[in-house]
Amino acid sequence: MLYKVFTLLLYLYIQDKTDDVQIGVKSTALKFGDETKLWLAGFASGVTGGLAVAGAMCHQPWLYFTGVGVVSAHLAHQVIAVVLYHGDSFNRNSLFCV
């Protein structure tokens, strides 16, 4: 669920923010404003933490946690690389390509 919120917030902030202002929609992208990267980092931390806790509770091997580390690095890259005030940020930074 947190990952879904994370990706939707990225999309909504970059692609729909200007439309939301024009038609008067009160979206999370507008609510978070300049603190969007902080919220994104929080959601990414929640995803990573949830995966790590689930893996520990299920006694997963080290390879699982290596995968969680890779996912964590990818989410961190998304938070750092995204340009929130530029509409084609997804295309320029290849945020969803692995």
State mean pLDDT over 44-69.
96
In a domain, 68, yes or no: yes
In a domain, 89, yes or no: yes
Q: What's the domain count of the chain?
A: 1
Classify residue 75 by burial, with Cβ atoms within 10 Å: 0-12, 13-18, 19+. buried
Query: What was the pLDDT predicted at 64?
Result: 97
- Residue 23 in this model has a pLDDT that exceeds 70: yes
pTM (2 d.p.): 0.72
What is the chain's percent helix, strand, coil content, to nearest 5? 80, 0, 20
Rounded to whole angstroms, how far apart are CA atoms 27 and 70? Answer: 31
Report helix, strand or coil for 83: coil
State mean pLDDT over 57-81.
94
Range of the domain at 53: 2-93
- Residue 60 in this model has a pLDDT that exceeds 80: yes
In a domain, 98, yes or no: no
Res. 56 pLDDT band, cuts 50 70 90: very high
In a domain, 24, yes or no: yes
Rounded to whole angstroms, how far apart are CA atoms 7 and 52? Answer: 20
In a domain, 35, yes or no: yes
